[in-house]
Amino acid sequence: MITLKVRLTLLLGVASLAGALIYAGVTQWPLPQLLVWSRHDLGLNLTVFNQLSMLGGLLVTVLLLMPLAFWLAGQVMAPVSRLLRALEGAVASYRDGDFSFSIAVERRDELGELIRMHNALGQTLREQRQHLVQRELLLDTVVQNTPVALVLTDASNRVAYANIASRHLFNEGRSLHGLDFSELLSDAPDALRRAVESGEDALLTVEMDGSEETFHLSQRAFRLQGRPHRLQLFRRMTRELSRQEVATWKRVIRVISHELNNSLAPISSLAHSGAELARRGDTARLPGVFATIGERARHLHGFIAGYASFAKLPAPQVVTVEWAPFLEGLSLHCQYHLATSLPSQPGRFDAVQIEQVLINLIKNAHESGSAEDGVSLSILETGRELRIEVADRGPGMTETVLAQALLPFYSTKRSGTGLGLALTREIAEAHGGRVLLANREDGGLRVSLLLPQTTVLR
């Protein structure tokens, strides 16, 4: 393979040889002999040519060599120029999204290798483009046929993309592309419109087509091709909630049946034993029998009372709460370590309900196996929210338990009712807040209770 370096070396050698020949022709032969012949035979006055020195010979050589050098440079740069023009066209095609451009030049030097690499790059881009188109087609097919209504709006709130479910939900099956989403929402139920305007996720129930329909709304803002967009997902939850409701009732019935059997079976057995002892006249053992029956009855009463408190949770009475007396009263019911200083401003919440929540959380922290001094309470002010955290150094929770711990009647304890964390969540949401569960990096669990410091309640 003759490389460009070899070719350039050969051409420079040819140019050097030509320069030497021209210089010799000008200073040695045949130009001096021609000048002598012209002077004798033609009678010309060539005084100027006789005075040519070495510098003059070099000057004449350079003048004669320049056209040759220009021609040789053109021969060297011609393939490079053609390749650059071809690459310019290829780059322009790539810029326009056309990857079908290839260079049909066969060379056996570095330029040929560059051409082959360029053609291989074009082939790779074409294959990737084809795969991308296929994936986009698959994704569009999935999105278009999903039952979740999807609406993508641009900065001017016009619909940039919408699937089939959203067209049926907002425009009787007609296209939404380019329409003002605010105008479409003007004909939607008020609850749905307000939920979208709030810009936050929401679970809401609206009346549609003569029946109630429950939706879960998810909203996310992001930048697409450098421009702000907003994605709204409307998921119909009515059927799912009905299924979950039936499953929950079945779970409640199983839990209640189990607990009733655990209490009524011993009570029935003890009542039979007490009657037999009374028949025999063995009254000395009757107090113990009656005490056990009373203990099981009290346990059953507490169990039923727990369910009743969850089902009949009153609306919170939000008041201003001073921290010192509140924490002093809390310390009478449970032990904890205060990990932060007291906030500068008093809190605003239902003191009785939040105290009950913290008692349950601190009790759970102690039951996790954490050391006595490993249970801590933190109170933080984060903007307009109050963050109350109970942390322990127990084993924490698995991902599966974390995902279901806040559901009613879910418990990992044998004697647990599954109402503690569910009641915590119910009270937090009644205050307009939320509950977060997370494992600690150094081991243990952190339960965070976030309460807005406003009087807005659900």
* pLDDT tens by residue, 185-240: 988 888 888 888 888 787 777 887 777 788 888 899 989 888 999 999 998 877 76
- Reduced to 3 states (helix: H, G, I; strand: E, B; else coil), residue 354 is helix
Confidence class of residue 390 from pLDDT cuts 50, 70 and 90? very high
DSSP 8-state symbol, 372 = G
Which residue did the predictor score with more confidence, 327 or 399? 327
Give yes or no for residue 120 having a pLDDT over 90. Answer: no
4-41 as b/e, with b when 16 or more CB fall inside 10 Å? eeeeeeeeeeebeebbeebbebbbeeebeeeeeeeeee
Comparing 86-90, 159-163, 238-242, 451-455, the range with the smallest average pLDDT is 238-242
Contact 109, 141 (CB under 8 A): no
Comparing 8-17, 324-333, 393-402, the range with the smallest average pLDDT is 8-17
pLDDT at 102: 77
pLDDT at 455: 46
CATH topology for 146-236 is: Beta-Lactamase (3.30.450)
Q: How far apart (Å, rounded) are the C-alpha atoms in residues 164 and 149?
A: 7
Instruction: Supply the pTM of this predicted model.
Output: 0.41
Average of per-residue pLDDT across 36-52:
54
Helices 4-27 and 54-95 cross at an angle (nearest 10°) of: 160
- 396 CB-near residues (< 8 Å, 6+ apart): 439, 440, 443, 444, 445
Q: How far apart (Å, rounded) are the C-alpha atoms in residues 189 and 204?
A: 11
Give yes or no for residue 150 having a pLDDT over 90. Answer: yes
Side-by-side strand order, sheet with 376-382: 337-338, 376-382, 385-391, 445-452, 434-439
CATH topology for 319-452 is: Heat Shock Protein 90 (3.30.565)
- Beta pairing, strands 337-338 & 376-382: parallel
pLDDT at 242: 64
Which residue did the predictor score with more confidence, 40 or 396? 396
Please confirm whether the linkage preceding 30 is cis (ω < 30° from 0): yes
